[in-house]
Structure 1
Amino acid sequence: MINRFFYIILVLLSYTSMVADESIKFDLQTSYSNYSSTAKEVVYKSNGSKLSELIWKVNNAKLLGLNAEIDLYEKYFINIGFKKNHETNNNRMDDYDWMYNINDWTHWSGHPNTKVEKIEIFDIKLNKQTYLNENTNFLFGLGFKKEQSRYTAYDGEYVYSTTSSSLFRDKTGTFSGKGITYAHTTQTPYLNFEIHHSINDWDILFMGKYSSKSKTTAIDIHHMRDLEFTDNFKNMQMINYSLGIKYHLNKNFSLLISYEHMQYKLKKGTSVTKDLTNGSVSGTDIVGFGQEYDLSSFAISYRF
């Protein structure tokens, strides 16, 4: 993915260098981001109540990013961005089960030793700009976003219940080794709108994205049980907004700080189970997936 992104950037740079019209401009931006996320995977009983819920938390992962924007003819803009994890720490997974037909959880395990193996965010969009007044621009368009994450939970502690009454949450202990690996990929076509307001050397930027067509594929491997679960979700709802402040140091260089919130609303889907010891596949379960994350970024831009 990274090599592909740099290839696209080089193609865009080559394109701009061949264009004779000096009105076409090109921006290249590098960013450093702080990323915190909560992803939930849920298994449902036949009556629709929860059987199991795994909560994966990423706290203050560091992402490096590149972004390129070309100003095309007639106020059209192409924007391509890519972010990837550089450093992660302080992550956690908690696993809850609801057994014996009671409303409170009966089984729990906590995994503070959870490793984030991948966070990647790819985003491409095409915008059309209109002027609201001499200081304010409105942009709207279409885009596509692809996000990939993978985590592995190691070690941990547990509280289990033998029964729902006298032996409720009676068993405690610890375990070690690789527990669960969870990977999910979400692809989203979306509608985009932006408002840019300028005050002298400062720009205030607001962006919103919406989609009801997000699609997620998730793979959950339980290493101690030799089971792999493949989940599929369609027509998920995505809501994304961000606010940024840009300062122009001169006609070429600018600095940007921004805050972004992303939400993929919890959606039910289907799951297929594979036994890794013999390759057999069992029937379909009803499962759920949802994710929210916050992204705080600092960026430096150069305008060619």
Structure 2
Amino acid sequence: MKVKFAILGATVAILASAAAAQAQTALKWAHVYETSEPFHTESVWAAEEINKRTDGRYKIDVFPASQLGKESDINQGLKLGTVDIIISGSSFASREYPPIGVTYFPYIFRDPSHLISYTKSDVFKRLAQGYEEASGNHITAVTYYGTRHTTANKPITKCADMQGLKIRVPDVPAYLAMPRACGANTTPIAFAEVYLALQNGTVEAQENPLTTIEAKKFFEVQKNIILSGHIVDHLNTVVSKSLWAKLSDEDKKIFSEVMAEAAERGTKIIEQREKELVAKFKEMGLSVTEVDKADFEKTVMEKVTFEEFGYKKEDWEAIRAVQ
């Protein structure tokens, strides 16, 4: 009899274990950033936290550094079902819903706090909803990526100083707006090749946040850091249409809360690093120059239209008005 009970108990345990394993959903979370960056470390934290708060029902593996493809690939992966969650910029979301790309228009945000206030505003909800209706995907959180500045072979203090400058800029319309308005010659070199291109003179300048300038060591081949601050950049945490539809209301709440908390943690890390880097670059003997941002902004507004990018002026005005 004892043997029967022991066998029965073992069978129940095996079945329970099998049921638990079957109940666990495996998910893929992808991005293009390095493992040392907060966009990765906080994604890993969020994946573990969601696992805890759902009693192990979701096992999320995070794939960094373009392991599952370039940014365009992982955005496409949301549709194809090859990824479930990604971190990606609104420039890619705008391929599905152009109006959301207005957040990349030069000087639309005053500073990181303005960006974060925007993410809590009605205009953000409206643009995020427009993106969701167009793509089916759901934006759960926004992380501050960094304010984009310029490095160059020469000092730059005003927009006209960029006339004829060969500058590497990502091949995204809104990123091109400021350099082209100032008369620069933009070149879309692959990100991995930027250091060499600066070193051998293929281009004379590039633009990126200070954290990227440090991480990619662009300061080794460019001694002038120009605080142009032309774009206060951000990344969205995006859940695929198919996954979002499967989640219960309770799980949607957990995913949203955890991802928003991870975004807040990442934002604080980036803000702190940026503050430290200005002083660090100066200590290294680099030229760190403030610019007349009003001059840059005035030129952009005179030479660039919202319509050419598919943006709406009323969205720009609503974002600018956010306090």
TM range, normalised to the smaller chain?
A: under 0.3
Q: Which has the higher helix share?
A: 2
Greater relative contact order: 1 or 2 (C-alpha under 8 angstroms, separation 6 or more)? 2
Question: TM-score normalised to the size of structure 2?
Answer: 0.24
Question: TM-score normalised to the size of structure 1?
Answer: 0.25
